[in-house]
Amino acid sequence: MAPYTMRCIECGKTHDMGKPAYACSSCGNLLEIEMDTAEAAERIEKSDFQERPISVWRYRELIPVDPRSQVLSLREGGTPLFDCSRLAKKLGMRSLHVKFDGMNPTGSFKDRGMTVGITKAKELGMKIVTCASTGNTSASLAAYAGLAGLKCVVLIPEGKVALGKLAQAMMHGSTVVSVKGNFDQALEMVMKSSETLGMYVLNSVNPFRIEGQKTAAFEVCDQMGGKAPEILYIPVGNGGNSAAYWKGFSEYEALGQVKGHPAIRGVQAQGAAPIASMFEGKSDKFIPVKNPDTVATAIRIGNPANWKKTVRAIRQSGGKVSTVTDTEILNAQRLLARHEGIFAEPAGAAAFAGLVKDIQNGVVDKDAEIVCVSTGHGLKDPDIAIGQSTKPRVIEASMSALERLVKET
Ligand code: F0G
């Protein structure tokens, strides 16, 4: 068997990895990359990967790019796994860890997938790259396209992308297209454009993106001293990252690098929760949400492209998907910022909001080894942060005015 095979998740048909592909040519379902774990185990045994600094490319033997390819990197991954003892104590938990992927080069986990996706784009000889985005994918793709010298076109839903993300996409020189519609409509356009305009799609339907993102799970296990957590909370939008984490945990287990794996608990915003509906018994069938809405604009998605992949992954892990309200998300964002110094954007606080809710409802073991994934940095969305914080106090430039204010507060 080849070290890697690209396969349809439904009918199993194999596809040529040397050509751009996002869906099965027979049945139209999602594609994924399968690793020959016996062969990979031999490969990593001979490597010194545990000696390398923690990062996406520390695991390069487990990433399906040509070893001769020039890797395009901005030093992604190697993000901290914070021991959040203050919040653990507040919630009555034995311990709590937060994997803060907002500390990637462009401020979100997307960089893990993008370094691999762009390296692949160059390998395949692509000239134009594209994506639809709620913001972070476009920021990340724009940065890596700049680094690679590739033309980049990003489609975003008009008026619904946080300011910081928009600034990034524009500053890195991509063509930013504001679509009068939502993310789901923009993604539909991008998928069609891949056929008609020959653009390489770097949304999470691109299986190479997932291969980069799975390294976050490897990192979590290594940062926990070779142990897998018992439960992992993660926000779910398009469903790519949760599927990627599961792929990472299962591969690491199959490779004998770690014993066991966590149950994945996905968290969706109440106004954009088609996957949670399937787990909450509302419907067995997947039913897209027509007009998704949430303060966490990153996960304002009604028709997640990876729903099949992530539903399967979360079920296999023994986990589930639940919802949180916008108020719960903003509360969680403030708790992380004020008690642990972690400034997450709203979607990056959604997983923690899900944990707080489960603790309050008594449906999670407070003694379990729990990791929450925080996916994006708070500076991405300054409007939301400013809108819910105390305004600066204006005083005269005098010491007495300062003294009065300090005594008051
Ligand atoms: N958190 C953040 C900060 C995100 O930007 C996203 C997705 C998610 C969570 C959800 O991850 O889609 O893999 O389930 N953002 C995409 C974008 C859709 O366009 O930036 P997912």
Residue in the structure block whose two tokens are 């291969």: 211
- Each residue's pLDDT, cut to its tens digit, for the chain (409 residues) gives 579 999 999 999 999 999 999 999 999 999 999 999 999 999 999 999 999 999 999 999 999 999 999 999 999 999 999 999 999 999 999 999 999 999 999 999 999 999 999 999 999 999 999 999 999 999 999 999 999 999 999 999 999 999 999 999 999 999 999 999 999 999 999 999 988 999 999 999 999 999 999 999 999 999 999 999 999 999 999 999 999 999 999 999 999 999 999 999 999 999 999 999 999 887 789 999 999 999 999 999 999 999 999 999 999 999 999 999 999 999 999 999 999 999 999 999 999 999 999 999 999 999 999 999 999 999 999 999 999 999 999 999 999 999 999 999 8
Which is the closest atom of ligand 1 to the Cα of 213? 13
* Ligand 1, atom 3, residue with closest C-alpha: 376
Distance CA 404, CA 60 (A): 58
Torsion of CA 104, 318, 314, 349, to 10 degrees: -40
Distance CA 379, CA 345 (A): 7
Which is the closest atom of ligand 1 to the Cα of 133? 19
Which is the closest atom of ligand 1 to the Cα of 136? 20
pTM comes to 0.97
Residue in the structure block whose two tokens are 């339907």: 205
For residue 299 and ligand 1, the question of a CB distance below 6 A is answered with yes
Tell how far the Cα of 241 is from the centroid of ligand 1, in angstroms: 8
**Separation of CA 40 from chain center:** 25
Tell how far the Cα of 125 is from the centroid of ligand 1, in angstroms: 27
Tell how far the Cα of 340 is from the centroid of ligand 1, in angstroms: 23
For residue 292 and ligand 1, the question of a CB distance below 6 A is answered with no
Q: Looking at 215-255, which runs of residues are DSSP E strands?
A: 231-235
In sequence order, which residues have a C-beta less than 8 Å from that of residue 231 and are 6 or more positions away? 262, 263, 265, 319, 364, 365, 368, 369, 370, 371
Q: Which of 99, 101, 106, 108 to mutate to test the pocket of ligand 1 (most atoms within 8 A of CB)?
A: 108
Distance CA 266, CA 313 (A): 10
Query: Is 191 strand, coil or helix?
Result: helix
Q: Are 252 and 227 in contact (CB under 8 A)?
A: no
Query: Is 247 strand, coil or helix?
Result: helix
Distance CA 337, CA 315 (A): 32
Q: Are 49 and 40 in contact (CB under 8 A)?
A: no
- In tens, the pLDDT along 171-193 reads 999 999 999 999 999 999 999 99
The token pair that represents 228 in the structure block:
């897998």
Q: Which of 106, 155, 182, 241 to mutate to test the pocket of ligand 1 (most atoms within 8 A of CB)?
A: 241
Element (H, E) at 386: helix 382-387
Torsion of CA 22, 25, 28, 33, to 10 degrees: -50
Q: What was the pLDDT predicted at 1?
A: 56
For residue 204 and ligand 1, the question of a CB distance below 6 A is answered with yes
For residue 238 and ligand 1, the question of a CB distance below 6 A is answered with yes
For residue 240 and ligand 1, the question of a CB distance below 6 A is answered with yes
Q: What is the DSSP letter of 246?
A: H
Element (H, E) at 152: strand 151-157
Q: What was the pLDDT predicted at 332?
A: 98
For residue 236 and ligand 1, the question of a CB distance below 6 A is answered with yes
For 290-335, the DSSP string reads: SS---S-GGG--SS-TTHHHHHHHHHHHT-EEEEE-HHHHHHHHHH
For residue 345 and ligand 1, the question of a CB distance below 6 A is answered with yes
Distance CA 98, CA 300 (A): 23
Question: How large a percentage of the chain has pLDDT more than 90?
Answer: 96
Which is the closest atom of ligand 1 to the Cα of 243? 13
Distance CA 377, CA 300 (A): 17
Element (H, E) at 358: helix 346-360
Residue (of 202, 142, 152, 140) closest to 172 by Cα position: 142
